[in-house]
Amino acid sequence: MSTPPPPYVPGHALLQGRTAVVTAAAGAGIGGATARRLLEEGARVVLSDAHARRLKESAAALAAEFGADRIAALPCDVTDEEQVAALFDFVVERHGCLDVVVNNAGLGGTADLVEMTDAQWDRVLDVTLTGTFRCTRAALRRMKAAGAGGVVVNNASVIGWRAQRGQAHYAAAKAGVMALTRCAAVEAAAYGVRVNAVSPSLAMHPHLVKVTTPELLRELTAREAFGRWAEPWEVANVIVFLASGYSSYLTGEVLSVSSRHP
């Protein structure tokens, strides 16, 4: 038996006046939900995504709702170091500060290990793990230089902890994101920056429907204690918590956003 999603939680000005960057923020997934939640909590948000058209459409819709002065967008492929540097330079030049970074960009896929090619492995690792590294490095360099603290929140996955057939590359990448989060947190604490991660199990969005079979979705959903998948905004709520002052003594942690049972 499944339980219905809870009512949508209104904003409480938890990030009033802060400047935030969200990668892979176009569309209806966790990135898009996070951008909206940050705006509802009072932040100025710079959206980024590798898909320029979808990014432009998402930014226009949010600007119409929250005001153009609080929304900016810049395409960025996280596998390209020059584009990553340009994104973070753009944020600092536009707003004069960088307070929150949400590293949401990731790439999955399904292939048994014996059939997986080097190209498949490399592509998933480059976007999901190395892309998170590039953005975290860029953020920490600028936050350290500014000396005003800051927060980085990475998007991991329960697959970084739990095995699933056909997901060796994605699982390795997400486990790497968790380890990167812990190591970065130890280093960044010296200059007042916190680094944490969320680890969702099953959050529904249109892209997941396209790349996952109905049979697998039913199987995964049945393993959730609530008998349903998470709404993207439910994951975004935990990201907001990690970005806010409510988690001021929390760093190097990976929070499971999951109702999954064995």
Residue from 8, 170, 191, 246 carrying the catalytic annotation: 170
What order do you get walking across the sheet with 44-47 strand by strand?
A: 71-73, 44-47, 19-22, 100-103, 150-155, 193-200, 254-257
What single-letter amino acid sits at 128? T
Rounded Cα gap, residues 194 and 208, in angstroms: 30
**175 contacts 127 by C-beta, under 8 angstroms:** no
Separation in Å, CA 28 to CA 32, 131, 222, 256 = 5, 21, 23, 21
CB atoms under 10 Å from CB of 31, counted, come to 28
104 near 22, Cβ under 8 Å? yes
Cα dihedral across residues 143, 198, 135, 240: positive or negative: negative
| Residue reference for tokens 């490399």 | 122
Rounded distance between C-alpha atoms, residue 13 and residue 244, angstroms: 10
256 near 224, Cβ under 8 Å? no
**b/e map of 34-67 (b: 16 or more CB within 10 Å)?**
bbbbbbbbbbbbbbbbbeeebbeebbeebbeebe
The yes-or-no answer on residue 170 being catalytic is yes
User: 13: which 2 tokens?
Assistant: 């000005």
Q: Which residues are catalytic?
A: 170
